[in-house]
Amino acid sequence: MATEKLLSAVQVAKGADLVDILVKLNDHPRLRHVLEDLVIKNVSKLSQLALYRLLHLQVGRKQLNTQLIAVVKKQLASMKLEFKLPQLKNLFYTCASLKINDKNLLNAMAENLDIIVKFETENVKSNLLQILRSCSYLGWVNKVIVDIVRDKLLSSLFNDDITESQRHDIVVYLGKLNLGEDFGDIVKELVVDLSGLKKSAPSQWLDLVSAQVNLRQPDAETITAVLQPDFYRPLLEQYKGRNSSSSLCFHTFLVV
């Protein structure tokens, strides 16, 4: 009886109310399906924030509503986006998690980012690093993103404002995106003083060298060093039977 009453209430819900109810009833399969069908029919009436929340709700689900994702991403892509930087970072993460590689939507998000980074002052670097990470997972980047990241990284480098861990991650993300032509000079600065990872964190060092290969950066000595038994045998044992990025990197080196 309670479920039937909820269904009746759901049927008359509209717009943002639908999304609010869906957030609350996300773990109720029957009601969730009814709500999502209503959302699809009313998608043109929803705000950007509501659409953003709808996509994020799909993250982590075992079974995605592909029809809902398709109509929501199309609707978002048709809008002039006006998200704040943390929301935009989360939207990039959502796209990466759901494998939404829709160029129209991603370009609209990049345009939004281009505007807000000119005015945002808080946590810009950390948010941009997360956006770059999401782009690397998607295998997507455009000139707007390249210019923004390059500009912000340059200022951070000059201010000595990037940690060792962040330097490592940036090089890995740039490597995944094959951006050596755009960031070759910056990568040389980023990898300075990271050689200590070879002993302290060999798997991270291997990821770093692999990224440098993609960026056409490493010298022969660096590559040769990771192919020595005293370096790779402990890693093979560590990652035996595991599908880790580092073990895959190493097998790539062996094939080459």
Q: In whole angstroms, what is the distance from residue 144 CA to residue 40 CA?
A: 31
Closest to 229 (Cα-Cα) out of 213, 248, 201, 250: 250
Region of poorest pLDDT, from 22-26, 91-95, 123-127, 240-244: 240-244
Residue 249, pLDDT > 80, answer: no
pLDDT digits (tens, 9 = 90+) for 103-136: 999 999 999 999 999 888 888 888 999 999 999 9
pLDDT digits (tens, 9 = 90+) for 64-77: 999 999 999 999 99
Give the global pTM. Answer: 0.86
Chain-centroid distance of CA 75 in Å reads: 21
Whether 107 and 146 have beta carbons less than 8 Å apart is answered as no
* Average of per-residue pLDDT values in the chain: 84
Q: In whole angstroms, what is the distance from residue 241 CA to residue 223 CA?
A: 24
Four-residue CA torsion sign, 150, 153, 159, 160: negative
